A and B are shown apart, each in its own frame.
Chain A
């Protein structure tokens, strides 16, 4: 039975991520009164990109290609540590939450370095913003993990997130709500969504993630898109589990719940992106500090 659940986890982790940007795009199109690209558009894009040729800048080195590879590999391994719904993750051990956070950081190191590899000012700006904002997002993540670890007496993501949430809500419901909001803000920042970054903007000066990958093309760009979608999926799985922690008791229904939950995250992001504008860059640190404070408040509420 465990083997089947692990297999389902792997299939979802590998197959589902590109669907999320598709759902976000469709939701935004709905709000704008357009038909929008089909749900499966990101899959078509990936297949198309994998078959294309590449253009490399003459200034680049091996680091330029290491960015996409490391970005995808770290998202994938981080995905193996995260439990989906009430099901345990395929790999789980004491302290894996630290590995989870540091794997994503490793991906960031190489993505930002790959951006600097082109020697373009735009990509330098994107990399600078990415690492700056993550400096503020990282403490928020760890404060949230503190709350979850305290409530569950466990140091693994599976122990913290799968299993029953009923007792945890009774003990620290308010903290969990704060942590959920904080994690959602981090999710938006880490995946470069509005209000932190507009993935559809046309001006290089205002971008964060998109501008870092300006010079990537073909299969390497495909890997970047896939890795980014997978990161959205992985962080979404953590967030939705904190915000919607209900289990049906039936393992199969729970898998359905996971899929619906992830779609809900995507729809919600789409609604947010349709109804608000991107913040000015100078205001972004304030939002992230607010996320840190929310989870810090969550920790304080647990002190009795």
Chain B
């Protein structure tokens, strides 16, 4: 959950994606944890659902995260910056990359009809099945994991709406972004393959289920006796039906809208700006503004830093405002402790003379010390 909270505060496109790996690995571990609890209480369905969900999420994460990184790479190739707030409007100049990123974003948020939904559904159903246990505290902890997963899903959604919106939608916020161009087919092609995989697992999970069952049985051989089937716990057929139904409804709706718009007058003007005469791209809502409310909710761990020079005089002068979210674990924990360790070790620098004779002397002294040590014992 904290992984996704950090991701929301990020300005760097690649860092944002990397933080999402923390969140996804959390989801995978949720599945594995459920399987372990199931194994200790002897519930076959928990083992099957948890482990199958976790394993499927490993695949899915590999698919949609690669897709997102490839699209991000394509963007960076075109504009040479990873700063989200310098991008914008790329969907016009890079339509295919934008489409691929959108598919990856929907998949990583676990939304139907793509693959992320299937693996999260397996874990959800497993978690909800712990309710049936009735008494004891073990269902309680597992049950509260379901709302936590829901919160993670909603936060991921907020984060990817932010990323997609700031990078691909609106108008360009910097000169390179204005002159961006679509990447070549050698970059788009692999993304297309990954998109196809995401859609395939999302729409036809029934075809993947046997492979998953096989993998789970390898880990839990005692399950093989009665061979529980994934399909008997999870409505894989219904997922396919609803996925196709969703696509069908979308196509119908889009066709209807197209027909209505085609048959009428269509005008094309600038975005409504409340009558302001000279709107500029810098007035768009940036990704940091978008995330501001959520970052504040998590301020107790994110510790966002704001540097503002406000203008309090009568006339307008130049003001400035910066805000960024430092990495609490890296910048607040690991780096200072490693720096401290490095400082302590630098006191012993004088020992490192660089001459062979000195090192031979150290070895000789050490040898004598060890001999004495041995003798004393």
Which positions in A face B, CB cutoff 8 Å?
50-59, 61-63, 65-66, 68-70, 72-74, 76-77, 91, 93-96, 98-99, 101-103, 105-106, 108-109, 112-113, 116-125, 127-129, 131-132, 134-135, 137-139, 141-143, 145-146, 149-150, 153, 155, 204, 214-215, 218-220, 223, 285, 292, 296, 299, 303-304
Contact = CB atoms under 8 A, between A and B. Distances in A.
Contacts of B131: 146, 149-150, 153
B109 interface: yes
A201 B352 CA distance: 73
Contacts of A59: 89, 169-171, 270-271
Interface SS majority for chain B: helix
Interface in B233-256: 233-235, 238-239, 242, 245-246, 249-250, 253-254
B174 interface: no
A63 B91 contact: yes
Interface of B: 88-89, 91-92, 95, 98, 102, 105-106, 109-112, 117, 120-121, 124-125, 128-129, 131-132, 135, 137, 140, 143-144, 146-151, 153-155, 157-158, 160-162, 164-166, 168-171, 233-235, 238-239, 242, 245-246, 249-250, 253-254, 257, 260-261, 264-274, 281, 283-285, 289-294, 297
B235 A132 contact: no
Contacts of B246: 73-74, 77, 103
B285 A106 contact: no
Given A57-B271, A125-B285, A149-B131, A135 B110 contact: no
A303 B138 CA distance: 11
A58 B121 CA distance: 39
Nearest to A103: B112
Contacts of B260: 50, 218-219
Contact of B170 (A55, A95, A102, A116): A116
Contacts of A150: 131, 143
B284 to A, nearest CB: 5
B135 A304 contact: yes
A272 B271 CA distance: 34
Contacts of A124: 165, 284-285, 289-290
Contacts of A129: 293
Contact of B111 (A52, A106, A120, A135): A106
A102 B110 contact: yes
6 contacts: A54-B267, A58-B271, A59-B89, A61-B95, A127-B161, A155-B125
Contacts of B149: 142
A93 B235 contact: yes
Interface SS majority for chain A: helix
A52 B264 CA distance: 7
B264 A54 contact: yes
B213 to A, nearest CB: 18
Contact of A135 (B146, B155, B238): B155
B285 A102 contact: no
Nearest to B255: A69
A132 B265 contact: no
Contacts of B235: 93-96
Contacts of B283: 121
B254 A65 contact: yes
Given A113-B161, A127-B161, A134-B154, A118 B249 contact: no
Contact of A69 (B121, B253, B273, B290): B253
B238 A93 contact: yes
A17 to B, nearest CB: 15
Contact of B157 (A72, A109, A220): A109
Contacts of B289: 124-125, 128
Given A98-B124, A113-B165, A219 B261 contact: yes
Contact of A113 (B110, B169, B268, B294): B169
Contact of B88 (A119, A127, A153, A304): A119
B284 A120 contact: yes
Contacts of A53: 264-267
Contact of A139 (B109, B148, B285): B148
A136 to B, nearest CB: 8
Contact of A57 (B98, B233, B270, B284): B270
Contacts of B117: 99, 102
Contacts of A117: 91, 165, 169-170
Contact of A94 (B147, B155, B233): B233
A105 B157 CA distance: 8
Q: Which of B129, B146, B234, B271 has the most CB of A within 10 A?
A: B271
A105 B154 contact: yes
Contacts of A101: 150
Given A116-B164, A215-B272, 6 more contacts: A55-B268, A63-B169, A69-B253, A102-B153, A106-B111, A155-B129
Nearest to A65: B257
Query: Which 3 residue pairs across A and B have the least CB separation, nearest first?
Result: A124-B285, A119-B170, A116-B165
A132 B158 contact: yes
Contacts of B261: 54, 218-220
Contacts of A143: 147
B270 A58 contact: yes
